[in-house]
Structures are given as C-alpha cells and as structure tokens.
C-alpha cells in the first residue's frame, strides 16, 4: 500500500492535521477539536520500538478522539480507515459486536485503508471511531510519540480488527 504525504484536506475525513501556532492565539478551528468528555484525559510520551512498515491489526476507539505526534518531528506513518460504527437497531449484514464497549461495527477492508506519511512539527487528531494502525516507522530502532487519549481508552474502548494478510506500506 503506497503512503501519501498528509495534508489538512486529504486527512479531514479521518480527523485533523495540526501544526504549530503562535503563543497567545485564541482557540479556533485550527486547534484540535477534542472529545475527552467520557473520562479522565491522559497525555503521555509513548516509546515504540522497531514497528516496521507493515501491520495486520487495525484499531478504533468509539468514545474518544486521540492525538498523536512524533517527538523530534521525525517522519512516521499512520494507516487509517473511516469509522464504521453502526446502530444496533439497524440491520447491517456483517456487523460485529465489540468486546470493548459493546457497540456494533462493520470490519474495515484492505481497500478502505489509506496510509499517510507525517513529518515535521505536526500532529494528528483522530476522530471518534477512526480505524488506525500506527504510528509506524521503518528507519529507526525506536521513536517517541506524544499521545492524548483517555486514561482507560486501551482497557474499555479498544476495538481491534485483524486482517488475514499483512498490509505492507511503501513510501
């Protein structure tokens, strides 16, 4: 799967691409539009080791937005697919009930996944329910990312789909 350079426009269906702004600027549409209302926010530095440029698992969080960015502004990759949470009262063939939160969703397909290359002093905000695999990187032993989510996101709001085959990312 070929990665494309991220822009505000091409990432908009999945969330926001954000960069630096001047100190003292008032809050506006250029700021991360967050939903952290369902728990206690958790902002931390996350160290990842040798992720490589392939994945088999893709995850979503139904109740929270998530922000991720590289400390040091090194290039990295994020694979995403549109949210696919469905109303349980509707009849959706192929809908699966999540073990994390009990919501229903349609599993993403390989064809629905897009891969973005992110570099420079920028970060992303993922909308609620956006499927994501990453951060991923291939040219370093480890990288550190800042991560904003809820304190219990990975316990109560972490739904994972496993593809049959690995998805390989090409730059």
Residue 29 tokens read as: 């549409």
pTM: 0.95
pLDDT on residue 111: 95
pLDDT on residue 119: 95
For the stretch 71-100, pLDDT in tens is 998 999 999 999 999 998 887 889 999 988
- Rounded Cα–Cα distance for residues 166 and 155 (Å): 25
pLDDT-derived band of residue 22, with 50, 70 and 90 as boundaries?
A: confident
pLDDT-derived band of residue 105, with 50, 70 and 90 as boundaries?
A: very high
pLDDT-derived band of residue 31, with 50, 70 and 90 as boundaries?
A: very high
Percent of the chain exceeding pLDDT 90 equals 88
Sheet with 41-49, edge to edge strand ranges? 15-19, 122-126, 66-70, 142-150, 41-49
pLDDT on residue 35: 94
Mean pLDDT (whole number) for 28-41: 93
pLDDT on residue 139: 87
pLDDT on residue 166: 94
Average pLDDT along the chain? 95
For the stretch 124-158, pLDDT in tens is 999 999 999 999 999 899 999 999 999 999 999 99
With tokens 């073990």, the residue in question is 99
- Rounded Cα–Cα distance for residues 116 and 45 (Å): 21
Each domain of the chain, given as residue ranges in start order, spans: 4-18+33-166
- Domain 4-18+33-166 CATH assignment equals 3.40.640.10: no
Residue ranges of alpha helices (H) inside the chain are 8-11, 153-156
pLDDT on residue 88: 83
Neighbours of 28 (CB within 10 A): 8
Percent of the chain exceeding pLDDT 70 equals 100
pLDDT-derived band of residue 30, with 50, 70 and 90 as boundaries?
A: confident
């Amino acid at each position: 799967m070929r990665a494309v350079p991220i822009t505000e426009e091409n990432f908009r269906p999945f969330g926001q691409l954000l960069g630096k702004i001047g100190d003292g600027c008032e809050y506006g549409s250029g700021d991360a539009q967050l939903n952290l209302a369902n728990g206690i926010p958790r902002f931390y530095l996350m160290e990842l080791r040798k992720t490589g440029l392939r994945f088999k698992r893709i995850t979503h969080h139904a109740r929270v937005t998530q922000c991720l960015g590289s400390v040091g502004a090194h290039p990295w990759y994020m694979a995403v697919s549109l949210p696919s949470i469905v109303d349980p009262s509707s009849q959706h063939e192929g809908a699966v009930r999540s073990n994390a939160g009990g919501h229903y969703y349609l599993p993403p397909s390989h064809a629905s996944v897009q891969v973005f290359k992110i570099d420079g002093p920028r970060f992303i905000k993922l909308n609620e329910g956006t499927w994501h695999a990453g951060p991923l990187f291939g040219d370093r032993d480890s990288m550190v990312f800042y991560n904003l989510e809820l304190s219990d996101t990975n316990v109560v709001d972490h739904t994972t789909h496993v593809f049959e085959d690995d998805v390989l990312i090409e730059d």
